[in-house]
Amino acid sequence: YVFLFKLTNGEKDLCIGLNTHGRYRDELKSIIGMFVNALPLRCQLDPHSSFHKLTKHVQDTMINCTKYSYFPLQRILNQHSNISNPVFLDTSFEFLSFKNNNTVMIGNSQLLPTSSSFNINEDEVVTTSGFSLSVYHDMNINQLSCTINASLDLFNRETVEKISQQFHFILHQLSASIIDNQMKKPIYELSLILSNEQYLMQSLNNTQISFPSSLTCIHHKFVYEVMKHPQKLAVELDEQSLAYAELFAYVQMLAVHLLGEYGIIPSEVISQCVERSLSMIIGMMAIEMVGGVYFPLSFRDPENRLHMLLEQTQSRFVLSHYLIKNKFKDTITMLNIDSILVNNNLFQHINFDELSYVHVTIDSIAYIIFTSGSTGMPKGVSI
CATH number at residue 167: 3.30.559.30
Domain hosting residue 2, numbered range: 1-101+127-197
In a domain, 69, yes or no: yes
- Kindly state whether residues 185 and 315 are assigned to the same domain: no
- Kindly state whether residues 158 and 257 are assigned to the same domain: no
The span from the first CA to the last CA of the chain, in angstroms, equals 44
Task: State the pLDDT at residue 243.
Answer: 94
Cβ neighbours around 269 below 10 Å, total:
20
Cβ neighbours around 139 below 10 Å, total:
9
- Element (DSSP H or E) covering residue 179: helix 157-179
| Whole-number Å distance between alpha carbons of 235 and 247 | 8
- Kindly state whether residues 139 and 248 are assigned to the same domain: no
Task: State the pLDDT at residue 246.
Answer: 93
In a domain, 213, yes or no: no
Task: State the pLDDT at residue 294.
Answer: 94
Task: State the pLDDT at residue 118.
Answer: 44
> Based on the structure, what is the number of domains in the chain?
2
- Kindly state whether residues 373 and 258 are assigned to the same domain: yes
In a domain, 113, yes or no: no
In a domain, 223, yes or no: yes
In a domain, 203, yes or no: no
- Kindly state whether residues 188 and 320 are assigned to the same domain: no
The answer for residues whose C-beta is within 8 angstroms of residue 36's C-beta and 6 or more apart is 19, 20, 21, 22
* β strands within 94-177, DSSP E: 104-106, 109-111, 117-119, 125-127, 131-138, 143-150
| Whole-number Å distance between alpha carbons of 127 and 130 | 7
- Kindly state whether residues 368 and 235 are assigned to the same domain: yes
Q: What CATH number is associated with residue 287?
A: 3.40.50.980
Task: State the pLDDT at residue 87.
Answer: 66
In a domain, 15, yes or no: yes
Task: State the pLDDT at residue 120.
Answer: 43
The answer for residues whose C-beta is within 8 angstroms of residue 102's C-beta and 6 or more apart is 112, 113
Task: Record the pTM.
Answer: 0.49
Q: Final residue of a domain: which of 143, 165, 197?
A: 197
- Kindly state whether residues 190 and 231 are assigned to the same domain: no
Positive or negative: CA dihedral 193, 156, 13, 135 = negative
- Kindly state whether residues 87 and 167 are assigned to the same domain: yes
Q: Are 97 and 113 in contact (CB under 8 A)?
A: no
- Kindly state whether residues 93 and 36 are assigned to the same domain: yes
| Whole-number Å distance between alpha carbons of 17 and 94 | 9
Q: Are 296 and 340 in contact (CB under 8 A)?
A: no
| Whole-number Å distance between alpha carbons of 225 and 358 | 20
Relative to beta strand 143-150, strand 131-138 is antiparallel
Please tell me whether residue 92 adopts helix, strand or coil conformation.
strand
Task: State the pLDDT at residue 123.
Answer: 54
Q: Final residue of a domain: which of 165, 197, 229?
A: 197
Task: State the pLDDT at residue 214.
Answer: 60
- Ramachandran category for residue 205: left, alpha or beta (phi over 0 → left; psi -120 to 50 → alpha): alpha
Task: State the pLDDT at residue 278.
Answer: 92
Q: Final residue of a domain: which of 197, 231, 251?
A: 197
In a domain, 117, yes or no: no
- Kindly state whether residues 157 and 222 are assigned to the same domain: no
- Kindly state whether residues 170 and 66 are assigned to the same domain: yes
- Kindly state whether residues 224 and 191 are assigned to the same domain: no
Task: State the pLDDT at residue 119.
Answer: 47
Q: Are 273 and 298 in contact (CB under 8 A)?
A: yes
Q: Give the pLDDT of the chain (383 residues) as one tens digit per residue.
A: 766 666 566 667 777 777 777 777 777 778 888 877 888 888 777 878 888 888 888 888 888 887 777 788 788 778 777 766 666 666 666 666 666 555 555 566 555 555 554 444 455 545 556 777 777 777 788 777 888 888 888 888 888 888 888 888 888 888 887 776 767 788 778 787 888 888 888 888 887 766 565 657 888 888 889 999 999 999 999 889 999 999 999 999 999 889 888 888 888 999 999 888 999 999 999 999 999 999 999 888 888 888 889 888 998 889 988 767 667 777 788 888 988 888 756 556 667 777 878 888 888 899 999 988 777 788 888 98
In a domain, 154, yes or no: yes
Amino acid at 347: F
